Amino acid sequence: MFKALAPRAARPPTLRSLSARPSKLFQTISPLLAGRISRGYATESEEKDLVIIGGGVAGYVAAIKAGQEGLKVACIEKRGALGGTCLNVGCIPSKSLLNNSHLYHQILHDTKNRGIDVGEVKLNLAQMMKAKDTSVSGLTKGVEFLFKKNNVEYIKGTGAFADEHTIKVNLVDGGETHVRGKNIFIATGSESTPFPGLEVDEKKVITSTGALALKEVPKKMAVIGGGIIGLEMASVWSRLGAEVTVVEFLGQIGGPGMDAEVAKQAQKLLTKQGLKFKLNTKVTAGDAGGEGVKLSLEAAKGGKEETLDSDIVLVAIGRRAYTSGLGLEAIGLETDDRGRLVIDQEYRTKLPHIRVIGDCTFGPMLAHKAEEEAYAAVEFLTKNYGHVNYNAIPSVMYTHPEVAWVGQNEQELKKEGINYKVGSFPFSANSRAKTNLDTDGMVKFLADAETDRILGVHIIGANAGEMIAEGTLALEYGASTEDVARTCHAHPTLAEAFKEAAMSTYSKAIHY
């Protein structure tokens, strides 16, 4: 019997053997060169159930939820850190600076009445920024851990459509790869809207990103835009010692969503803290050519010009959808006149396997709105149903006092001709607020005059951002003000003001 001989290992071709067979030369050397050239590049993996472009709040929440549902998921993020604007240069770092600057300001101005004597108080801005960065890095790493836990592939790079199912990714570490997905979510978020004639350098002319990373406290700061972002950053640097002037085109601060009565009260309190306001005023030009920045101002309806000098100008006139570089033209996706991707009620584009969530499509540009859409979009994908109630999306301004609201405001109800009733309760009559020596503000309810159904809740005061959750829940479930008033609230708490405001809407408050 003969044993089968094992095949001999193929010998690599020599240059002589290749030259003897010129017709085989390209076929033989091509794969060798390709292997060498592709070294360091990511390799193509199998087709994913879902590919997500963008690792901000909308993108990473969708990725985690889809992973929990058992889908094979890849998430592409170009920043090199997950969490998008919110975690890296938005909600999270700004709240760190707001909290710590408030503590600093409180120690300087609000300790004697509390029986606390302190010595010399100094600002260590570098350490304050370090505390902010520590918060950010901890949270972004936490999201990475959740990706691993839920088997989400994290691809660091910039993605663009190669075709309707394929994303070409230029990797952060060099090279490129392609990822195919049965379904694709676009979650690329938003960017600061630029101001015409002022080039942002994040040093003298800054966006919120630059405002979170200043190396020293400016003597004078001008803020173009009196919305939430502008007022939060204005509060931080005013508390730390800057002379801050806010220029706002509208006749109120906080943007059109804030109730006019609440906005007026907020402006009064912020003015007491040192902020200056120029409402009904537009910036017509800016000059950053000198040491500082000169802004030319005039009344919104036209009038005499004036000049505002500052060391730094913060441009905070809003945000716009970020979709540049996605290669949308390659697959024929359309945007509206504001650059937002067009979708249906299930977040689908005209290519039904491609959905859009978060700031780059319609609705308020809020992290929690993006999160709700992410959750709903995955449910539409896996269960054919999903839910986001856009009439119950809360907004919060994290100044001190905080301002929070959900539902409609009085301006909107009047415009729509809705018959409504109003009830409110001041924190000056709340026992916990009195013991905290922090009694500014109120809780205000708006309810249907006939049915008592809650139409809107508006709060200005300490911890308003936490309290608004109860208002959102009430609005979501169609509660009346009597429903809230008949619900037991712990004593003594700030939330009792919420109960009393509801009581004052359908009947009468007890403690005021």
Annotated binding-site ranges? 95, 159, 188-190, 225-232, 248, 318, 359, 365-368
Cα 256 from chain centroid (whole Å): 18
Neighbours of 336 (CB within 10 A): 11
Q: For residue 336, what are its two tokens? A: 């509206």
Catalytic residue among 102, 109, 400, 491: 491
Q: Are strands 166-171 and 152-163 parallel, antiparallel or unpaired?
A: antiparallel
Structure tokens at 264: 């007026």
According to DSSP, the β-strands at 176-186 and 48-53 are parallel
Sorted by sequence, the CB contacts under 8 Å of residue 348 that are 6+ apart come out as 354, 355
d(C-alpha 506, C-alpha 425), whole Å? 13
The residue among 75, 81, 78 whose CA lies nearest residue 60 is 75
Helix intervals (H) in 194-351: 208-211, 228-239, 260-272, 328-331
Binding-site residues from annotation for NAD(+)? 225-232, 248, 318
Binding site members for FAD: 95, 159, 188-190, 359, 365-368
Is there a catalytic annotation at residue 491? Answer: yes
Q: How far is CA 365 from CA 192, 207, 216, in A?
A: 11, 16, 30
- Closest of 67, 33, 26, 64 to residue 49, by C-alpha: 67
Strand partners, 278: 247
Q: How far apart are CA 210 and CA 440, in angstroms?
A: 31
Name residues whose C-beta falls within 8 Å of residue 477's C-beta, 6 or more positions apart in sequence.
none
Dihedrals φ, ψ of 404, to 5°? -140, 145
Q: Is omega for the bond preceding 12 within 30 degrees of 0, making it cis?
A: no
Under a CB-based contact definition with an 8 Å cutoff, are residues 208 and 200 in contact?
no
Q: Which helix (H) or strand (E) holds 148?
A: helix 125-149
Q: Which residues are catalytic?
A: 491
